[in-house]
């Protein structure tokens, strides 16, 4: 779907990849409703939108609050008149520990944000999308959604759920006016660790020589261009493409390879 003159919602629009997608969409002529839990982050996104600020509305919303999400379509339509697209980008990681050491409170938080929050947004807006001439849902999964990452097993489970939900939606909607894409980012240079409230002692900083990351701006360009081309699966980063190939070729080898890379973080 060409985003020009369309209204698109972006969750997690206050920073990182979400902010980059908001700004990318605005430059392409879209109207954008940016969603985040932090008002200050949204105001910074609005400031960065510069001359395109007139096409941007910002909304403080907890996507895990089902009742608030159910009311949200009316708010967006009041601001923009109609809605044509939804990019479910908001997500968090878990503490970098084994499942045996992971508290249920952390498990529930990850699942609520990464899966249920996304599902609430889809359910809230899909009835409206089905009435539009065309619409598009983009769900951000993860490289960890198709490849097991020790120390992020529940995060991976939440993103695998996003993957299969998106593929199921694609199958259900393939003969409708609503397109569905699922995105598998690799390592992106964002502050997701801090935003998730997670402290990982041995984690190299994004952009350091020990970890190569894709910039949020480049990831946004890949994702929005993929949406424009109606791609069903979008891989953001060469690491995601490579690990998808390796995992399909030899799941055991790929799992052992990732396990070795993550070993130091699980000490």
- 3-state class (DSSP) for residue 202: coil
N-to-C CA span, the chain: 45
Sign of CA dihedral 33, 10, 203, 101: positive
CA dihedral of residues 59, 63, 69, 73 (deg, nearest 10):
50
Burial class (CB in 10 A: 0-12, 13-18, 19+), 135: buried
Q: Is 155 a catalytic residue?
A: yes
β-strand partners of 56: 32
| Closest-CA residue to 147 (of 138, 156, 158, 139) | 156
The strand order across the sheet containing 85-88 reads 56-60, 31-36, 7-11, 85-88, 135-140, 178-185, 233-236
Please give the structure tokens belonging to residue 193.
């660790």
d(CA 169, CA 166): 5
Q: Say how many C-beta atoms besides its own lie within 10 A of residue 59's C-beta.
A: 17
- 3-state class (DSSP) for residue 233: strand
112, 167 contact by CB (below 8 A): no
Which one from 120, 155, 170, 247 is the annotated catalytic residue? 155
HSE of 21 in the Cβ direction (CA atoms, 13 Å)?
A: 36
What positions carry a catalytic annotation?
A: 155
């Amino acid at each position: 779907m060409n985003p020009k003159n369309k209204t698109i919602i972006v969750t997690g629009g206050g920073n990182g990849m979400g902010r980059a997608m908001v700004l990318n969409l605005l430059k392409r002529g879209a109207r954008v409703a940016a969603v985040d839990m932090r008002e200050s982050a949204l105001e910074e996104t609005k400031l960065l939108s510069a001359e395109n600020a007139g096409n941007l509305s910002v909304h403080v919303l907890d996507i895990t609050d089902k009742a608030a999400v159910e009311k949200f379509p009316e708010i967006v339509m009041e601001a923009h008149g109609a809605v044509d697209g939804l990019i479910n980008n908001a997500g968090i990681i878990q503490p970098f520990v084994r499942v045996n050491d992971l508290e249920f409170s952390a498990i529930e938080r990850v699942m609520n944000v990464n899966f249920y929050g996304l599902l609430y947004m889809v359910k809230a807006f899909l009835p409206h999308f089905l009435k539009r001439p065309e619409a598009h849902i983009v769900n951000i999964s993860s490289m960890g959604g198709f490849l097991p990452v020790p120390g992020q097993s529940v995060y991976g489970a939440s993103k695998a759920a996003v993957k299969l939900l998106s593929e199921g939606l694609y199958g259900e909607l393939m003969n409708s006016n609503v397109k569905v894409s699922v995105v598998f980012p690799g390592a992106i240079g964002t502050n997701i660790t801090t935003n998730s409230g997670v402290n990982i002692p041995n984690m190299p900083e994004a952009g350091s020589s020990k970890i190569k990351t894709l910039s949020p701006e480049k990831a946004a360009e890949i994702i929005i261009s993929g949406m424009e081309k109606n791609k069903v699966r979008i891989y953001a980063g060469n690491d995601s493409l490579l690990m998808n190939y390796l995992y399909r070729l030899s799941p055991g080898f790929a799992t052992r390879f990732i396990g070795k890379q993550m070993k130091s973080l699980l000490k």
